[in-house]
Structure 1
Amino acid sequence: MAECTKILYQGGVGEIVEKKSRFIASVAPVATEQEALDFIAAKKKEYWDARHNCYAYIIGSKQEIMRCSDDGEPAQTAGRPMLDVLLSASVYNIVVVVTRYFGGVLLGTGGLVRAYQGATKAGLDASVLVEQRLGRELTITSDYNAYGKIDYLLREHAVPVSASEFGADVRLDVVIDADLYDSLPTEIANVTSGNALLSWGDYVRYGYDAEKIIIFEKKT
């Protein structure tokens, strides 16, 4: 089973209207199936007067747990189409509840599928999805003369700096992708004549949100 590449960092709410029916998509990050079930229960309580509260969720980077429900809509017209949107987005640890307030006009099976998928997409658009990358933490310590050259290299390779400290020396905590494990330390050694101190840290799954590094998982 393929591993998902995106994780929900921040949930959101999206809404569409189809032939007077309102479809409200509530999206939330979850780490366990119980968290997903609790969120679904909370939405059903919040929207107690709605005709339907359909849902879909995926738990685990390898999609270990996937569930969906039509909640009274015709079979395969709500939950499964919602789940298909999540699978297409390659996202996991996510739950989506689409609440429908019936507007008095029947949509037909095709119309329902399009509406529930459209609402789910609107919910994702209102959320923050972060693409995961595999990397390793590296601490670079140098004098101020070498700092400019190191900073140039990091920018050239789009290596994110998670923390910096400017004291007697310059200390930079960075995260580098796997394809730079060998080449970047060599380049740093070359431009600093071997005077920079490099210290490896944990292997990580990480991503960006507004240029801020987010660490999802660490392994020594």
Structure 2
Amino acid sequence: MNTNDSVATSYTTLLEDSVHELEIKRSRFITYLYRVDSESAAREHIAALRKTHFDARHHCTAFILGPDRMTQRSNDDGEPSGTAGVPMLDALAKRELPDHSHLSDVLAVVVRYFGGIKLGAGGLVRAYSEAVSTALDQATLLRRERLRIFALPASHALAARYENELRAAGYQVEPTQWLAESALIHIGIPDTPEATDQLHTHVATLTSGAGELSDTTTRWVDLI
């Protein structure tokens, strides 16, 4: 998926990988949360955990990928159908966040060591959902935002002043490209129409109408 064509302009993911253990009726549910950006990365983590916990009965998984969450997968890994992977995926997909964004680029793996007491289908659904939810409660999250990068040409004499005034106004100034006869200032803003309009207005004032912005590219950044 090309993130430049994504409708979403922000989402939430993990700051760092984490692990959390829950015991329910003597069964151990060990939840691993990973930040991943591809199916191959997710499957590498899953394969590694199968080797680490080779003696566990189940390694159930769920992951969501992409700014628009176009890729969603789950696996019950031997538990009764629909009792593990789907509730885990629901716990990721329906996670309520303070800024009302959604959770993505996250893999959850729940390793279960059976404790000898059967939980039943309903008990398993609750257990796997709770395992992921409580792990997310303990995890540190961050927001990702898509920036749109604009270029502003300026003379060598004016470039430094423009950079300073843009920074003072709260804009993210990317590395300036110094050409033989001029400079090209790069400015990153949230990829929204409102932010774009505000930048054009600010640059018009800053340059007395002489500055001409050009739209160059977009990129995703972590907001920490």
Q: Secondary structure at the match of 2:91?
A: helix
User: Which segments of 5 or more consecutive residues in structure 1 lack a partner in the other structure?
Assistant: 211-220
The equivalent position to 2:191 in structure 1, one of 173, 177, 189, is 177
Are 2:43 and 1:37 equivalent residues in the alignment? yes
Q: Aligned residue for 2:180? A: none
Say if 1:11 and 1:126, in contact at 8 Å, map to a contact too.
no
Q: Secondary structure at the match of 2:50?
A: helix
The runs of at least 4 consecutive aligned structure 1 residues that moved more than 6 Å come to none
> Alpha-carbon deviation of 1:35?
3.3
Q: Aligned residue for 1:66? A: 72
RMSD, matched Cα:
3.6
Note closer, same or farther for the CA distance 1:32–1:174 as it changes in structure 2 (3 Å cut).
closer
Q: Aligned residue for 2:121? A: 109
The letter for the 2-side match of 1:190 is T
Equivalent-residue separation in structure 1 for 2:222 and 2:116 (angstroms): 44
Q: Aligned residue for 1:28? A: 34
Are 2:59 and 1:53 equivalent residues in the alignment? yes
Note closer, same or farther for the CA distance 1:207–1:127 as it changes in structure 2 (3 Å cut).
farther
Note closer, same or farther for the CA distance 1:162–1:27 as it changes in structure 2 (3 Å cut).
farther
Q: Secondary structure at the match of 1:53?
A: strand
Are 2:17 and 1:11 equivalent residues in the alignment? yes
The letter for the 1-side match of 2:192 is A
Deviation sequence 1:21-43 (CA, Å, 0-9, x none): 32111122334434333322221
Bigger proportion of residues as strand: 1
Q: How many pairs does the alignment contain?
A: 203
Note closer, same or farther for the CA distance 1:160–1:109 as it changes in structure 2 (3 Å cut).
farther
Say if 1:30 and 1:59, in contact at 8 Å, map to a contact too.
yes
Say if 1:139 and 1:174, in contact at 8 Å, map to a contact too.
no
For residues 113-132 of structure 1, the aligned pairs below 5 Å read 113-125=125-137, 127=139, 129-132=141-144
**Structure 1 vs Structure 2: percent identity of aligned residues?**
34
The TM-score, its normalising length taken from structure 1, stands at 0.70
Equivalent-residue separation in structure 2 for 1:93 and 1:121 (angstroms): 16
Q: Aligned residue for 1:190? A: 205
Q: Secondary structure at the match of 1:181?
A: helix
> Alpha-carbon deviation of 1:62?
4.6
> Alpha-carbon deviation of 1:70?
1.9
User: Which segments of 5 or more consecutive residues in structure 2 lack a partner in the other structure?
Assistant: 1-5, 96-101, 178-182
The equivalent position to 2:222 in structure 1, one of 194, 204, 208, is 208
> Alpha-carbon deviation of 1:150?
3.0
Say if 2:58 and 2:111, in contact at 8 Å, map to a contact too.
yes
> Alpha-carbon deviation of 1:85?
1.6
Equivalent-residue separation in structure 2 for 1:97 and 1:163 (angstroms): 40
Note closer, same or farther for the CA distance 1:182–1:65 as it changes in structure 2 (3 Å cut).
closer
Equivalent-residue separation in structure 2 for 1:75 and 1:182 (angstroms): 51
The TM-score, its normalising length taken from structure 2, stands at 0.69
Moved more, 68-77 or 131-140: 131-140
Deviation sequence 1:145-202 (CA, Å, 0-9, x none): 566643342x2xxx4445579xxx9956433432222332222321453476755421
Equivalent-residue separation in structure 2 for 1:22 and 1:39 (angstroms): 20
Equivalent-residue separation in structure 2 for 1:16 and 1:163 (angstroms): 47
Are 2:101 and 1:95 equivalent residues in the alignment? no
> Alpha-carbon deviation of 1:82?
0.3
